[in-house]
A and B are shown apart, each in its own frame.
Chain A
């Protein structure tokens, strides 16, 4: 139990995938325009990441290792992620067309969200067990979602600001992301995992 708490804390705050590992920057910048969309994206990523890390662990243990085809690892993992993303895309399209429109291209692009593949690969690298992998994936996704939602809040506030023309849009967004990353550096050393 204690171990899982440490994993969650570590992945959410200390080794945040976006702000400390700089993975998953594309959706982080792409769908942080609105809080509602960001919340939707967070849940989608949470779903994909948790299941992908679990499934990839299973595939690793029960297909790749027994058959000795570890060189197919990346392809297999991508396939798993792609299937999960397709599934969540259909689900969102059915349940919330507005969110579907809002997420736009970024929804299928979760497939190429490096954070998802990163989690799956890091799980294998760190020799995590099944539950550790799942928690690791969940924690990473919560961390991603947390900063995404916070960032979306900040960006919504920046919308009406009389920003100098040269910094409007992406420059300011990146500077803000940098500032957030600075703040999150305060957590460094908080837990060792």
Chain B
């Protein structure tokens, strides 16, 4: 007889429940991306999720392990998250490569779910950004390209997805635009002040809240991501510590800096709405596996992410730093966890 220790009842939570509620919370952002980029978005998401699941299955088979973990939703979630961080112009082989990087290199090699020190989706995205900088920084102009190419037409979208822009007899420049962050960064390097740069951006930067701007397919709409994030907070799947401290740090730093030098630093709302900050704050940084366990640690983690994001955005070589920030803080998680353990009942603070 197997020795079973108490407790003999269980609350009923499971990994699958956690993973599927995260996928559920990403539905608004996913739908919005389909609205913005039509079939192209659909193709990217499907190929990423498919490749993620296939890679997971392949790894488990190769390691001769039970394939049950394939269905716990974690691989599907990783696939979805990568898809949402990719530009709409990502070619098919790159989406598959990204999913394979995420699942094989940064998850299964470490022993599978629960052991990866870095968020798989993020690390795959960073690998892609560094390996293919051109493709990863060409952002299709959302919606306004209707007259050039109708992305709601499946054949055009699939041609774009599989054979690239060249096959459609349009130039890359005609259908792409800079992200708000990229736009500001380029403007600053040309000596244009931030308010001027923002005035010349095709969209009002507050459109970013709704989502009408250039960028990765899933990060456009801060509103959709916020909805998903609030849903997760409400369900108790994620805790407020990381997203709040992350966003507040970025907001505070950009508030202070924009007050001191309004010509060089963009206002806080711009920073909150633009780029992948919302996606990273609610869905990447809160990935339980690669974030701290303790509350204090989560606050430190969030603050660190915010600080690094702000620094890279304003001083670094890349226009967007949220992904790097989360990945950098991922490195520090074991130490943060070790040094922020809560005060044990009846003991003096250690």
Binding site for B on A (CB under 8 A): 35, 149-151, 153-154, 156-158, 161-164, 167, 172, 175-176, 179-180, 182-191
Q: Tell me which of B63, B111, B112, B312 contacts A186 (CB under 8 A).
A: B312
B residues at A contact (CB < 8 Å) = 62-63, 105-106, 108-112, 115, 117-118, 123, 126-127, 130, 308, 311-312, 315-318, 321, 323-325, 327-328, 330-335, 338
Q: Mostly helix, strand, loop or mixed at chain B's interface?
A: helix
Whether A189 and B318, one on each chain, are in contact in the complex, defined by CB atoms closer than 8 angstroms, is yes
Q: Which residues of B contact A176 (CB under 8 A)?
A: 117
| A180–B130 CB distance below 8 A | no
Our pick among B311, B327, B334 for the contact of A182 (Cβ within 8 Å) is: B327
Complex A-B, nearest 10 residue pairs according to Cβ-Cβ distance, in ascending order = A189-B317, A186-B324, A153-B334, A161-B111, A161-B115, A183-B327, A153-B335, A162-B111, A157-B334, A190-B316
Can you list 14 contacts pairing A with B, beta carbon distance less than 8 Å? A150-B332, A153-B333, A158-B115, A158-B117, A163-B109, A182-B126, A182-B130, A182-B327, A183-B330, A186-B312, A189-B317, A190-B311, A190-B312, A191-B315
Contact status A35-B112, CB under 8 Å: no
Expressed in whole angstroms, the Cα–Cα distance for A150 and B321 within the complex equals 20
Chain A, interface SS category: helix
* Best-buried of A164, A175, A184 by chain B (most CB within 10 Å): A164
- Is the beta-carbon distance between B331 and A154 smaller than 8 angstroms? yes
Q: CB-CB < 8 A to B108: which residues of A? A: 164
Are B312's CB and A167's CB within 8 A?
no
Q: For residue B64, which residue of chain A has the nearest CB?
A: A164
> How many A-B contacts if CB must be within 8 Å?
93
In the bound complex, residues from chain A placing their C-beta under 8 Å from that of B316 are 186-190
Q: How far is the CA of A162 from the CA of B123 in the complex (A)?
A: 21
The distance in angstroms between the C-alpha atoms of A190 and B317, with both chains bound, is 6
Contact B338 A153 (CB under 8 A): yes
Task: Report whether B318 and A161 are in contact in the complex, using a CB–CB cutoff of 8 Å.
Answer: no
With a cutoff of 8 Å between Cβ atoms, the chain B residues found around residue A186 in the complex are 126, 308, 312, 316, 318, 321, 323-325, 327-328
Contact (A188, B317) CB under 8 Å given A175-B109, A183-B328: yes
Nearest-neighbour CB distance to chain B for A189, whole angstroms, equals: 2
Q: Are B115 and A180 in contact (CB under 8 A)?
A: no
A154 partner, pick from B111, B311, B323, B334, beta carbons under 8 A: B334
Pair A172/B117 contact, Cβ less than 8 Å: no
With contacts A183-B330, A190-B316 known, is A172 near B325, CB below 8 A? no
For the complex, what is the distance from the CA of A154 to the CA of B126, rounded to whole Å? 19
Contact of B111 among A163, A183, A185 (CB under 8 A): A163
**Are B130 and A175 in contact, with the CB atoms below 8 A?**
no
Contacting B105 at CB < 8 Å: which of A175, A188, A190?
A175
Q: Are B110 and A163 in contact (CB under 8 A)?
A: yes
Whether A156 pairs with B334 at a CB distance below 8 angstroms is yes
A154–B115 Cα distance when bound, in Å, is: 10
A183 to B312, CA, bound (A): 12
Q: Roughly how many angstroms separate A163 CA and B338 CA in the complex, as a whole number?
A: 22
